[in-house]
C-alpha cells in the first residue's frame, strides 16, 4: 500500500460496492492508468493522445509533493476508476476523474459519484492546509463527453469556460519565420549557465511577466515562483531551451522585458514526428500592440521547424474578450477539438 493510503476517507471505504477496493496508486500502476486514460480519450474525443509518462506526473513519488490520488478496483482486481487532486495554486485545486468506459452505466454512475465525493474531501484538506474558507475545484470535460458532463452536473459543478485546442502545421519553410520580429522587439532564449541550467534571474523574469500578463484573465490564481518552476519541470515535455523572453529595445534605453513564452515538446506516436506546444504566452499590458506576441509565436514555429517537427499546438480561451484567437488564426492555427472547464466551490469547514 502507498504511504498516502491514510488519506482515503472512511466515507469512501465504507461506500464501496461489495468486493471493490480503494488505494493510493504509485508508479507501478502507471501502465493500467495510462490505458484507462487512453480509453477515456478515445471514447470522449475520438482519439487517444496521452502516454504513461503523462500519468507518472500524477502518481510518482515526486508528484505526491503537491498531489494525492485514489484508484478503485473491482472484485477481480481490474482498475476501474481514478481520481487525482493537484494543489495547483492558492485557492485552485485541479481534479482529474476517470471511470472505465467498459463499465455498465449503473456501475459507472456509482463509481463516478464515489470519486467525485473523494474530490470534495480532498478539496477540504487542501483548503485547510492553505488556510482557506472555500476551496475551488477545477476540472474539465471534452465538449462532446455527455457522460462526464452529466456526472459533474449531478455533483454540483458548473461549466464556466470553453477552450479551443488549436494546432498549426509546420514545414521546413518555416525555419526562418523568426527573422523579422516586430519593430523594437527582441526575442531571446532564457540564458543558460555553464552547467546547462537556466539563469534564475531569467526564470524569475518569465514568472513575473506571466503572473502580470494573466492577472486579469479568467480564473487567475497567484502562483509562487517555486510552485511555477516545480510544476513545469514535472512535465515530460519540459525543455529549458523552449523558454523565451521578449524585450522592447528603444534607442538610448535599456531593453525591458515585455513578454514570455514557455514551450514544450509533444512526442509523436507510432513513429510520427514530434510537435511543439505553447504552454504559456504572455505579454505585459504596456507592451501590447507592438507585435510582441506575434514575434514570440514566430519564434516557437521557427524553432519547431528547425527541429524537424510538424506542428505547434496551443490552447485559447474561446470566451476571452482579447480576441487572441484572431492572431492565432491569422498565423495558421486551426481548431482541433474543444474542452470545457467545470468548477465547484467547496466550503472547507
Backbone phi, then psi, for 317, in 5-degree steps?
-70, 110
Q: Dihedral of the CA atoms 120, 17, 100, 7 (nearest 10)?
A: 40
167 vs 165: CA distance, rounded Å: 7
Task: Report the chain's terminal Cα–Cα distance, integer Å.
Answer: 29
Angstrom distances, CA of residue 213 to CA of 1, 28, 51, 339:
43, 40, 31, 23
Torsion-angle region of 271 (φ positive above 0: left; ψ -120 to 50: alpha; else: beta): left
Contacts of 147 (CB under 8 A, 6+ apart): 44, 108
320 vs 341: CA distance, rounded Å: 14
Which pLDDT score is estimated for 10?
85
Chain position carrying cell 495558421: 332
331 vs 301: CA distance, rounded Å: 10
Walk me through the domains of the chain, giving residue ranges and CATH numbers: 5-162+343-347 (3.40.630.30), 171-309 (3.40.630.30)
- Provide the CB-side half-sphere exposure for 242 (13 A, CA): 23
189 vs 241: CA distance, rounded Å: 7
Per residue of the chain (349 residues), give pLDDT as tens.
333 444 688 889 899 999 999 999 999 999 999 999 999 999 999 999 999 988 998 887 665 568 999 999 999 999 999 999 999 988 999 999 999 999 999 999 999 999 999 999 999 999 999 999 999 999 999 999 999 999 999 999 999 999 999 999 999 999 999 888 888 999 999 999 988 899 999 999 999 999 999 887 777 788 999 999 998 998 889 999 999 999 999 866 788 999 999 999 999 887 889 999 999 999 999 999 999 999 999 999 999 999 999 999 999 999 877 778 899 999 999 999 999 999 999 999 8
Closest CA to 210 of 137, 285, 160: 285
Angstrom distances, CA of residue 83 to CA of 22, 58, 280:
11, 10, 26
Q: How many CB atoms lie within 10 A of CB 286?
A: 11
Positive/negative CA dihedral, 31, 36, 39, 42: negative
Closest CA to 124 of 113, 136, 141: 136
Amino acid at each position: 500500500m502507498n504511504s498516502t493510503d491514510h488519506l482515503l476517507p472512511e466515507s469512501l471505504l465504507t461506500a464501496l460496492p461489495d468486493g471493490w477496493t480503494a488505494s493510493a496508486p504509485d508508479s507501478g500502476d502507471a501502465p493500467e492508468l495510462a490505458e484507462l486514460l487512453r480509453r477515456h480519450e478515445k471514447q470522449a474525443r475520438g482519439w487517444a493522445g496521452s502516454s504513461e509518462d503523462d500519468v507518472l506526473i500524477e502518481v510518482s513519488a515526486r508528484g505526491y509533493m503537491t498531489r494525492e490520488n485514489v484508484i478503485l478496483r473491482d472484485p477481480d482486481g481490474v482498475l476501474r476508476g481514478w481520481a487525482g487532486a493537484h494543489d495547483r495554486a492558492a485557492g485552485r485545486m485541479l481534479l482529474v476523474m476517470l471511470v472505465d468506459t467498459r463499465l455498465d452505466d449503473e456501475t459507472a454512475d456509482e463509481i463516478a459519484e464515489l470519486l467525485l465525493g473523494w474530490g470534495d474531501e480532498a478539496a477540504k484538506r487542501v483548503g485547510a492546509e492553505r488556510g482557506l474558507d472555500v476551496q475551488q475545484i477545477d476540472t474539465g470535460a471534452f465538449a462532446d463527453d455527455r457522460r462526464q458532463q452529466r456526472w459533474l452536473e449531478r455533483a454540483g459543478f458548473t461549466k464556466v469556460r470553453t477552450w479551443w485546442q488549436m494546432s498549426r502545421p509546420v514545414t521546413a519553410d518555416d525555419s526562418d519565420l523568426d527573422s523579422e520580429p516586430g519593430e523594437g522587439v527582441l526575442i531571446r532564449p532564457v540564458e543558460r549557465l555553464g552547467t546547462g541550467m537556466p539563469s534564475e534571474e531569467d526564470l524569475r523574469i518569465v514568472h513575473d511577466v506571466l503572473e502580470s500578463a494573466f492577472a486579469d484573465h479568467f480564473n487567475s490564481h497567484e502562483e509562487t515562483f517555486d510552485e511555477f518552476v516545480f510544476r513545469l519541470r514535472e512535465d515530460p515535455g519540459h525543455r529549458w531551451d523552449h523558454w523565451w523572453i521578449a524585450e522592447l529595445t528603444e534607442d538610448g534605453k535599456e531593453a525591458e522585458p515585455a513578454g514570455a513564452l514557455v514551450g514544450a515538446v509533444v512526442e509523436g506516436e507510432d513513429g510520427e514526428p514530434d510537435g511543439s506546444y505553447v504552454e504559456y504566452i504572455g505579454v505585459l499590458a504596456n507592451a501590447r500592440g507592438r507585435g510582441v506576441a506575434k514575434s514570440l509565436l514566430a519564434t516557437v514555429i521557427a524553432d519547431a521547424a528547425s527541429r524537424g517537427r510538424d506542428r505547434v499546438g496551443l490552447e485559447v480561451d474561446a470566451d476571452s474578450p482579447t480576441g487572441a484567437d484572431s492572431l492565432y488564426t491569422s498565423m495558421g492555427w486551426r481548431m482541433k477539438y474543444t474542452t470545457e472547464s467545470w468548477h465547484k466551490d467547496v466550503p472547507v469547514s
